[in-house]
Amino acid sequence: MKVLISGLGSIAKKHISAMHQIDETLEVYALRSRKDNPKVNNITNLNSLDELKAPVDFCIISNPTALHYSAIEKLIPLNVPLFIEKPSLMSLDNSEALLKKINYGKIKTYVGFCLRFHPIIKFLKEYLQGRRIIEVNIYCGSYLPSWRQGVDYRDVYSAREELGGGVQYDLSHEIDYALWLFGIPDQVEKTRLRLSDLEINSCDFAGYRLIYKNKVVNIALNYFRRKPKRTIEIVFRDDTLLGDLIQSTVQSESLGLLFSPKVEISNLYIEQMTHFYNIVRGNEKSINSLEESLTVIDIL
């Protein structure tokens, strides 16, 4: 297959690696903003769509979040499926106009929240069916300067609000999987702050409370925790579960260890890309279209 990628940063390279695992015929074209960008492996650099000499099978949008809207708008005329890295947009501004164009062209879309493919989240999706939940506490914290080795954290888009940086965007996986597991809330309360000494202009703490008729889901996200922690605690009337996405365990207070799979993070990207390939081929329906993903943007 032939793919056109808008944005060739670290996440794009993960998607390319995943595609190579499932598609030996892959041809990659990258839409670059500068003409002096070095060539990466066998990827063909393009500076405009006019340089595209043959049709592509799909596009991946993985540039900074602030540029997603314009990238989607630019690629709609190609009339091919779109893989949009999370979060899909920075806001709901003009999103209806964008959806109208996508729906008119019957363009398939998928927004890349790869944690839906994490074995712990997949286990909980099934385990929680029909169970009465009272309270959920979701936590994700890690240290932004440690994210990318050899790169000054102050120079990356995460540090810059104007590029779509901020913990609420970077860690929006937690919002997405909360909605996937528990549905759309009746009410949302939120807090976004800069609390640490990190030299950034984006927020480093975001707190959300998703309020339902019979339960509440609390979500805390931060950039400043030195030892990473990514957990989900689920409180029932007679038990409490603790899912740890880093240690890859699900513990029950009453029953002990319920689930402890071996997890390779690269496999999440391969599973996700396999799903998208099936969308492209018409074998599966997107589990997270652009339109569906806008609920996450609304909450953010």
Task: Write the pLDDT tens digit of every residue in 245-300.
Answer: 999 999 999 999 999 999 999 999 999 999 999 999 999 999 999 999 999 999 99
pLDDT digits (tens, 9 = 90+) for 19-66: 999 999 999 999 987 766 667 778 999 999 999 989 999 999 999 999
Give bridge partners of residue 3 from the DSSP assignment.
Answer: 28, 58
Q: What is the CA radius of gyration of the chain?
A: 20
Report helix, strand or coil for 198: coil
Q: Mean of the pLDDT values across residues 11-23?
A: 95
Minimal CA–CA distance to 217: which of 225, 227, 209? 209
Residue 296 and residue 184 in contact, taking contact as beta carbons nearer than 8 Å = no
Residue 185 and residue 212 in contact, taking contact as beta carbons nearer than 8 Å = yes
Using CA of residue 171, residue 177, residue 178, residue 180, what is the dihedral sign? positive
The domain segmentation of the chain, as residue ranges, is 2-114+268-299, 119-261
pLDDT digits (tens, 9 = 90+) for 147-191: 988 899 999 999 999 989 999 999 999 999 999 999 999 999 999
Backbone φ, ψ for residue 245 (5° rounding) = -80, -15
Helix H or strand E encompassing 273: helix 265-281
Q: Which amino acid is at 193?
A: L
Architecture of domain 119-261: 2-Layer Sandwich (3.30)
Minimal CA–CA distance to 74: which of 56, 94, 98? 98
Backbone φ, ψ for residue 174 (5° rounding) = -65, -35
Q: Cα dist. 266→10, 117, 238, 269, 272 in Å?
A: 13, 11, 36, 5, 10
Residue range 2-114+268-299, CATH number? 3.40.50.720
